[in-house]
Amino acid sequence: MMRQNYLLFALALLLALPALAAPEAGFVSLFDGKTLKGWTLVGGHGPGYVVKDGLLVCPKDGGGNLLTEKEYGNFAFRFEFRVEPGGNNGVGIRTPLEGDVAYVGMEIQILDNDAPQYKDLRPAQYHGSIYDVVPAKRGFLKKAGEWNEEEILADGRHIKVTVNGHVIVEANLDDVKDPAVLKKHPGLARTKGHIGFLGHDALAEFRKIRIKELP
Taking residues 98-117, report their average pLDDT. 98
Q: Give one word for 48, left, alpha or beta, with left for phi > 0 and alpha for psi -120 to 50.
A: left
Q: pLDDT tens across 39-89, in order?
A: 999 999 999 999 999 999 999 999 999 999 999 999 999 999 999 999 999
Mean pLDDT of the chain: 92
> What does the pLDDT read at residue 24?
85
DSSP code string of the chain: -HHHHHHHHHHHHHHHHHHHHGGGTT-EES--SS--TTEEEEEEETT-SEEETTEEEE-TT-EEEEEESS-BSSEEEEEEEEE-TT-EEEEEEEE-SSS-HHHHSEEEEEE-TT-GGGTT--GGGSTTSBTTTBPPP-S-PPPTTS-EEEEEEEETTEEEEEETTEEEEEEEGGG---HHHHHH-GGGG-S-BEEEEEEESS-EEEEEEEEEE--
Please say whether the dihedral angle defined by the alpha carbons of residues 43, 156, 24 and 138, taken in this order, is positive or negative.
positive
User: Is pLDDT at 5 greater than 80 in this prediction?
Assistant: no
Q: Where are the domains of the chain?
A: 26-213
pLDDT of residue 3: 53
- 4 pLDDT band, cuts 50/70/90, is low
Give the pTM. 0.89
The answer, yes or no, to whether residue 206 has pLDDT greater than 80, is yes
Average pLDDT (120-147) is: 98
CATH 3.40.50.300 fits 26-213, yes or no: no
pLDDT at 8 over 60: no
pLDDT (tens digit per residue) in 150-204: 999 999 999 999 999 999 999 999 999 999 999 999 999 999 999 999 998 899 9
